[in-house]
Amino acid sequence: MVYHMPECRDFSSFLLSAELSDVTIQYEDGLLPVHKIILAQASEYFKTLLTGPFAEAGQRIVELIDDPPMAIEGMIAWIYGMQFNPRDRYNKYIENFHFVTSDETGVEFVKYQVDLFFTAEKYLLSRLATSVEGYFFHMLLDVSRQVEFLHVIAKHVYIARAEEAVALRVHVANAYLERIRSIKDTEELKQLLLDIPELAFDIIRAGATLPAAEEEDDKPRKVSSGSGAFPPLPRSR
């Protein structure tokens, strides 16, 4: 499956290049040579950082050591007009975002997308965050053909990234609604919902918003997330 992403300026020839580099990003996996003007044009966060006291002090190292390393590489690659994935690392950005994975299941790639989403939000790359969220539900449907893989993603969103990925929870809940009748191991699902009560509540909330006609017609169950927040529950009478 191919997902289309917004057009991004192409600075790909400068990605990972020390040529004209005037600052270095230090992250968990090492060092990335980058260019102030490219980072500043992409993000107000970096613009403020690189033109404020940081620049006045003549510093050349930006520490991003608290963020997931693959997400940092993905963010920088996107800024430079490239795409990043855990398998092929860096590919030329050609306006298409290919659903490539580091494993046959796709689980690790989707987990990486979760990390990329909240990293993009943190560094004020709203177009990147919006793009990831916009495709996230469809990525979940690809993965959730094997429901046990969906369980892994649910744990990553609700437990590992409990504070950072709240906006993605609605998509996980909707993916469970899509697959609910194909889930055969109900004991595993019951245990998952006991471990993550927020997921159980979110599935109920998402299901409660379904139009009656949709349920009667037995159509696939999906609720649009809008900004990522759940719509209010209907008032009981």
pLDDT at 166: 96
Task: Give the DSSP letter string of 40-63.
Answer: HHH-HHHHHHHHTHHHHTT--EEE
Give the integer Cα–Cα distance in Å for 41 and 44: 8
111-124 residue pLDDT tens: 989 999 999 999 99
User: Average model confidence (pLDDT) for the chain?
Assistant: 79
- pTM score > 0.95 for this model? no
165-205 residue pLDDT tens: 999 999 999 999 988 877 777 788 899 999 999 999 999 99
**Can you tell me which residue has the tokens 């019951």?**
190
The widest CA-to-CA distance across the chain, in whole angstroms, is 67
Segments in the chain below pLDDT 50: 1-7, 93-102, 213, 215-217, 220-237
